[in-house]
Structure 1
Amino acid sequence: MSQQVGVEHGVVLPVRVDPRGIDGPTARETAGPWWRRTSRGLYVPAHVETSAAQRVAEVACLLPARHVAVTGWAALAWRGAPYAEGLDASGDPRPVPLAAPRRLLRPQPSFCLCEERCDPKEVERVDGVPVSTAVRATCFEMRYARDLETAVAVLDMAYLSDLVTPAEVAAWVGTHASYTGIEQARQCLPLARENAWSPRETLLRLLWQRHRPDAVLLANAPVFDLEGRHLGTPDVIDPATGVLGEYDGVLHLEGSRRARDLRREGDFRAHGLEPVVMVGSDARDPRHVVGRLHEAYVRAAQRPASVRGWTLSQPPWWRDTSTVALRRALEGAERDIWLARGRRTDTG
């Protein structure tokens, strides 16, 4: 693999043992605490962080010149997708998934090889690493996700990074009907949203949808007062009732952030909306947040339509960024302004 791997990502490439200790560690040094083995015969300094990109680079150094590509979460991470950290449910690193038509590498703990049909046209070189196209990598991760909820979050986050569109994903799923896990990927299509901003928001929305299957839930739809002032952009909202949901992670517990959240919640209520907050413990035991949702719907049903002081109609000065296509169309300063305004990636 070329030494040009990962220049844009700032990764540290593994080196082999060097008896002189010039181009790599000596055999004696590798036995000490200053070097970490990445694979058979290759090492990096022990202080190098094992980030997603670093793990991809360490595996990329093992790839033959042709026929093997990084795919799944690792390809998405290499392309810059947020939340593609490659961790399992317990927080431990997952192997880097590789796609190849047959077994071309000896197994190692750092990667897992998936042998399935692969069109060479679906491989691209990004910063020196052969990776599956964004749509194939997304569908791979959806197909092999541990459950449907996780698969939907994968698709939501691929949309967030503007790597794929719904049409592209639907077309790939539709033309690969015999692939492992394709039914799970197909089930994701109507459940995913192009404007979700974190996997926890996906969790909230899917939980809500299970208990209110008839509700049409919007992700990060901006809410305005009747004079066109932006009240806020809730994680999830039911536009028919004004019940909205927010996922509050640990960052929301900080003093100044919590104070802003409380003022925002009060502003929502003052305009006839019904906020419901989900916190981390609700993911383990959702009964409490489901109860809060039920109570919010009861209060919303008792509120006369005449006191509704909010709208989802966007004023002329607002720029809609709710779809991948609309975001891709933004350029230059306009992109910086509206995507900074429109997206949060610190909600977990």
Structure 2
Amino acid sequence: MPASVDAAPPEQRIVEAAAVLPEIGGVTGWAGLRWAGGAWFSGRDASGSPAEVELATCYEDVRSQPGFVVRQERLPPAELVDHDGLRMTLPVRSLFFCLRHARTLAEAVTMADLAAFSDLVSTAEAWEYALAHPGWTGVPQARAALLLSDENSWSPPETSLRLLWTLGAGLLGPLTNCPVFDLHGRHIGTPDVLDPESGTAGEYDGKLHLHGRQRAQDERRADRFRDHGLEPVVVTAADLAQPDLVVRRILAARSRALARGSSARSWTVEAPSWWRPTRTVEQRRRLVLEGGGHLLRHRRRAA
């Protein structure tokens, strides 16, 4: 890929690729989701290199060029929409493309989680589309990804941690970003993942969590968790590169939590009446319609 393409921001690359679209065609895949407002769709692949912009068309009169790839597929005009000056496929179709063409199942699950993070596509909407298109290439992977997806993951590393919890450690799927309260209804904290049976709280700490004020805040929160009978297990980016190590730490923390027993607990996941739930795409969309969008501002600060 030319150096100029490599250096260009994703929005510029999307606009340049969209310039060649035929009458029936649209930006799709990660680029379609990015243009629709997907905060985590950075346009970079796992190695950090620019990902090609994907274009969907039902004609053969447009060819792939450096920086973008053209996919000729069935494309009803009803699945195209104009958004901020560009024609793109509906977000649910863009996500379906991502799920089918992802290099790994874990990557596909991450794509589904990230589309839900920005409330672009709910799991139910993705399932409805997948079931309506059973014969397309990659559909088995798309369905497998949706079975493992979660609408309340807040970042790709959190999804990786959850998959190590389930596929790696063989445990039931944990609750994601579930607020935890003391027995008087005060908010203790919101761990990235939580096993409510044992009280094991998994936390992913990125670069911002390793130093200074954020590190001190994290330590205080971990102390609160322990004081109320939760067992924190903290994972970093370096840890995720050693999945077997992470699995062992998860299982060890869970064993400690189970050995402590429920009598040491002074926490609950039962939210007080004043708490506004935001665990699902539907709940968050309703909150925005009701004027509570400011409660979701953290979702606009993705990388």
* Residue type at the aligned position of 2:256: R
Identity of aligned residues (%): 46
CA RMSD of superposed structures (Å)? 1.9
Other-structure match for 1:261: 218
1:51 paired with 2:9, answer yes
In the TM superposition, what are the counterparts of 1:90-105 in structure 2 within 5 Å?
90-105=47-62
Question: Bigger radius of gyration, 1 or 2?
Answer: 1
Other-structure match for 1:191: 148
Which of 238, 243, 257 is equivalent to 1:286?
243
Which of 61, 76, 88 is equivalent to 2:33?
76
Which of 106, 114, 117 is equivalent to 1:149?
106
Runs of 4+ residues over 6 Å off in structure 1: none
Deviation at 1:335, TM superposition (A): 2.1
Deviation at 1:305, TM superposition (A): 1.4
Contact 2:30 2:94 in 1 (8 A): yes
1:165 paired with 2:122, answer yes
Contact 1:98 1:111 in 2 (8 A): yes
Deviation at 1:253, TM superposition (A): 1.2
Query: What TM-score, normalized by structure 2, do the two folds share?
Result: 0.94
Q: Which has the higher helix share?
A: 2
Which of 131, 139, 143 is equivalent to 2:96?
139
Separation in structure 1 between the aligned mates of residue 127 and residue 289 of structure 2, nearest angstrom:
30
In the TM superposition, what are the counterparts of 1:1-348 in structure 2 within 5 Å?
50-64=8-22, 66-331=23-288, 334-340=291-297, 343=299, 345-346=301-302
Query: What TM-score, normalized by structure 1, do the two folds share?
Result: 0.82
Contact 1:196 1:219 in 2 (8 A): yes
Structure with bigger RCO (C-alpha 8 Å, 6+ apart) = 2
Deviation at 1:317, TM superposition (A): 1.1
Other-structure match for 1:23: none
Contact 1:321 1:338 in 2 (8 A): no
Deviation at 1:90, TM superposition (A): 1.1
The CA deviation string for residues 5-39 of structure 1, in whole angstroms up to 9 with x for no partner, is xxxxxxxxxxxxxxxxxxxxxxxxxxxxxxx966x
Task: Identify unmatched segments of 5+ residues in structure 2.
Answer: none
Separation in structure 2 between the aligned mates of residue 182 and residue 329 of structure 1, nearest angstrom:
30
Q: Secondary structure at the match of 1:331?
A: helix
Separation in structure 2 between the aligned mates of residue 345 and residue 271 of structure 1, nearest angstrom:
30
Contact 2:169 2:247 in 1 (8 A): no
Separation in structure 2 between the aligned mates of residue 270 and residue 110 of structure 1, nearest angstrom:
53
